[in-house]
Chains A and B, each alone.
Chain A
Amino acid sequence: MSPKTLYDKIWDAHVAHEADDGTCLLYVDRHLVHEVTSPQAFEGLRMAGRPVHAPDKTIAVPDHNVPTTPGREDPANMTEDSAIQVAALDKNAKDFGIHYYPVSDIRQGIVHIVGPEQGWTLPGMTVVCGDSHTATHGAFGALAHGIGTSEVEHVLATQTLIQKKSKNMKVEITGKLRPGVTAKDITLSVIGKTGTAGGTGFVIEYCGEAIRDLSMEGRMTVCNMAIEGGARAGLIAPDETTYEYVKGRPHAPKGAQWEAALEWWKTLYSDDDAHWDEIVTIKGEDIAPVATWGTSPEDVLPITAVVPAPEDFEGGKVDAARRSLEYMGLTPGQKLTDIEIDTVFIGSCTNGRIEDLRAAADIVRGKKIKDGMRAMVVPGSGLVRLQAEEEGLADVFKEAGFEWRLAGCSMCLAMNPDQLSEHERCAATSNRNFEGRQGYKGRTHLVSPAMAAAAAITGKLTDVRDMM
């Protein structure tokens, strides 16, 4: 048998039909649904009189546009548009008989955090969701794609996706990370190197010692941002860390099924002599804590650097950099650590898991946030929130002056009222620093949870290593 990559193996196990031109129907094992990109898909099904093909493989949870403040079970406490979208999802979940975690359920949270937490996401699966950060689930060695609403409807109706195979890219992070460097710094540094279009047409497999050493939480952070690197999906081969995380989760296999699953999962790795269309290698020890300065995730630099000048770039990027600097209100040559921050947002499907909150709390413990700072922690799920409360992390944050919120996407995309005002500058643990992403004319610097926590204390972008 010819050697295969992990991606090849999962792909081959899910092709339900292949046309002569290579267009495939890829079978979908898990379909995750949220309130913002699904209403039009369900409307389409109703209009065509079609049922959901596999309701038992379909899981819905509202997250993008829900309030993160208390009392939200009552629609009267939602903005009108949130209430409409949430009510539509409530109804669609009920009418079509799919698994559902409503806002009142402690298990509710960001769809990409809920899936793994509940054991819906397993190695070797195909996972799709009408959200680009579906890539997160790749951390389990699952092939996970973000899809558009028409495709959501297609999957609901047929449990398949029309796909052509992508190319294989290997991103290897060798050796150990230095202290203060996290999964977030890895993933941003990769994008800094390859650019936001570098992964276009590829599925990326992350490997190497520094990736192996990461917890599942860290691996999810890395895969989450594969999409910012332009890739269709990011993958990490499953190993003991993965099995350990999955075992015992509500929807994970049990008993003999677990053994059978494990046997298959252990075959899920890239063969030694597999073909790679592209290979990127980065030394773990070369990665520093980083922050973004511009309005694209590729605009990233070590925290010790200075803001670049447009002339440092080439081609279309010169104008883009000029526009970014103007938008961000920054001057070339300015030290990143001199940039003053108004707001800190800790949360999102990139960094809203328990380990992220622990890392942030370690920096914050016993300190106070800078006067006038607005700082919030939005746990990725109700269960993360509960655990953080039990571990005393919530108290650490609250005593330091942080707001402690309910689970949801919140200020990651700022659809709900959690928004930046004009020119407000935010250190955020989320994944996008696009213009207007966190509010009209709001300015976003992407950083790790520990770096965000450090900025909340000092009021500036800060090298977290100085606070450790």
Chain B
Amino acid sequence: MDKFETITGIAAPMPLVNIDTDMIIPKVFLKTIKRSGLGVNLFDEMRYDREGNEIEDFVLNQPQYRETEILVAGDNFGCGSSREHAPWAIKDFGIRCVIAPSFADIFFNNCFKNGILPIPLPQEQVDILMKDAEKGANARMTVDLEKQEITTSDGEVFPFEVDPFRKHCLLEGLDDIGLTMEKSDAIASFETKAAQARPWV
């Protein structure tokens, strides 16, 4: 996995609440057996009409948001299915950080596995960041994971929380499976114990 470096980039506002995984990546794109190439279909049904033409109003189609790296969104972002195609599409588009009042659980997990940083912040703070994002391309937001700080284009700073283990993995670009395999002794001894306690499993 790529290391998560500090991002200074364009943030796009998507104030809608309950943005679900079907909106992020409609199921027709789940037909792939690969992880890559989903960025063009991110938010497909909001972004394109039936003929495949871009819908002008949609935020990521506006000239100032084409290079978006940070998404500021409404409550309960990523609700719905477990499809990891959602974070794959977000990452493939070039977005590395999503800020929202809350996230759906599975989506939140999936982000970390793909080098994306989801940041939950209180609604009032998200509202301020949303305003900042609405300023468009001249307003660059900075997300510094090391320091756990978001800085708006006006220099206002918002600290955020992140699980220390996940932070470490993102910063170092570590692969979970490799890390877990280092604990294979613990897993093996658990298996021996469990086979005695619950042999029917």
Residues of chain A whose beta carbon lies under 8 Å from any beta carbon of chain B: 13, 16-17, 19, 21, 23, 25, 27, 29, 36-37, 39-40, 43-44, 48, 50, 57, 64-65, 81-82, 84-85, 88, 122, 124-125, 130-132, 146-151, 153-154, 157-160, 162, 164, 196-197, 200-201, 227, 230-232, 253, 257-258, 260-261, 264, 296, 315-317, 319-320, 323, 413-415, 432, 434-437, 440
Q: Which residues of B contact A159 (CB under 8 A)?
A: 187, 191
A25/B82 in contact, CB under 8 A: no
A230/B84 in contact, CB under 8 A: no
Q: List 22 A-B contacts (CB under 8 A).
A: A19-B165, A25-B187, A148-B82, A148-B109, A149-B84, A150-B176, A154-B177, A159-B191, A160-B180, A162-B180, A196-B76, A196-B79, A197-B79, A200-B103, A230-B104, A230-B105, A232-B105, A316-B17, A316-B75, A320-B16, A413-B81, A435-B23
A413/B82 in contact, CB under 8 A: no
B76/A23 in contact, CB under 8 A: no
**A151 CA to B28 CA in the complex, in Å?**
22
B177/A157 in contact, CB under 8 A: yes
B17/A260 in contact, CB under 8 A: no
Judged by a CB distance under 8 angstroms, whether B67 is at the interface is no
The 3 closest A-B pairs by CB, nearest first: A253-B200, A81-B31, A150-B113
Q: Which residues of A contact B18 (CB under 8 A)?
A: 196-197, 296, 320
Of chain A, the residue at the smallest CB distance from B186 is A17
Q: Which residues of A contact B176 (CB under 8 A)?
A: 150, 154, 162
List 10 other contacts, CB 8 Å, given A197-B79, A197-B104, A435-B45.
Answer: A13-B197, A16-B183, A17-B183, A17-B187, A21-B163, A36-B83, A37-B84, A315-B17, A319-B16, A413-B27
**A25 CA to B201 CA in the complex, in Å?**
18
Q: Which of B12-44 contact A (CB under 8 A)?
A: 15-18, 20, 22-23, 26-28, 30-31, 33-35
B16/A316 in contact, CB under 8 A: yes
Q: Which residues of B contact A414 (CB under 8 A)?
A: 27
Q: Which residues of A contact B191 (CB under 8 A)?
A: 27, 159
Partner of A436, one of B45, B74, B123, B187: B45
Judged by a CB distance under 8 angstroms, whether B80 is at the interface is yes
Partner of B200, one of A122, A197, A315: A122
Q: Which residues of A contact B28 (CB under 8 A)?
A: 415
Q: Which residues of B contact A147 (CB under 8 A)?
A: 82, 106, 109
Q: Which residues of A contact B113 (CB under 8 A)?
A: 148, 150-151
From known contacts A122-B200, A154-B177, A196-B76, infer whether A319 and B15 are also in contact, taking CB-CB under 8 Å: yes
B7 to chain A, nearest CB (A): 21
A21/B102 in contact, CB under 8 A: no
B1 to chain A, nearest CB (A): 9
| Interface band, chain B | 35 or more
Judged by a CB distance under 8 angstroms, whether B155 is at the interface is no
A40/B34 in contact, CB under 8 A: yes
Q: Fill in one digit per residue for B158-201: 1 if any A CB lies within 8 Å of its CB, else 0.
A: 00000111000000000011001101101100110010011111
Central interface residue in B27, B35, B199, by most chain A CB within 10 Å: B27
A455 to chain B, nearest CB (A): 23
Q: Which residues of B contact A317 (CB under 8 A)?
A: 17
A428 to chain B, nearest CB (A): 14
A436/B26 in contact, CB under 8 A: yes
Judged by a CB distance under 8 angstroms, whether B64 is at the interface is no
**A158 CA to B81 CA in the complex, in Å?**
24
A293 to chain B, nearest CB (A): 15
Q: Which residues of A contact B26 (CB under 8 A)?
A: 436, 440
From known contacts A148-B113, A319-B15, infer whether A16 and B75 are also in contact, taking CB-CB under 8 Å: no
**A264 CA to B114 CA in the complex, in Å?**
39
Q: Which of B50-74 contact A (CB under 8 A)?
A: 50, 74
B187/A16 in contact, CB under 8 A: yes
A25 to chain B, nearest CB (A): 6
Q: Which residues of A contact B35 (CB under 8 A)?
A: 40, 149
B83/A37 in contact, CB under 8 A: yes
Q: Which residues of A contact B23 (CB under 8 A)?
A: 434-436
Q: Which residues of A contact B198 (CB under 8 A)?
A: 13, 124, 261, 264
B76/A434 in contact, CB under 8 A: no
Q: Which residues of A contact B45 (CB under 8 A)?
A: 435-436, 440
Q: Which of B101-119 contact A (CB under 8 A)?
A: 102-106, 109-110, 113-114
Q: Which residues of B contact A16 (CB under 8 A)?
A: 183, 186-187, 190
**A65 CA to B30 CA in the complex, in Å?**
9
A158/B75 in contact, CB under 8 A: no
B82/A43 in contact, CB under 8 A: no
Q: Which residues of A contact B17 (CB under 8 A)?
A: 315-317, 319-320
Q: Which residues of B contact A319 (CB under 8 A)?
A: 15-17
Q: Which residues of B contact A153 (CB under 8 A)?
A: 177
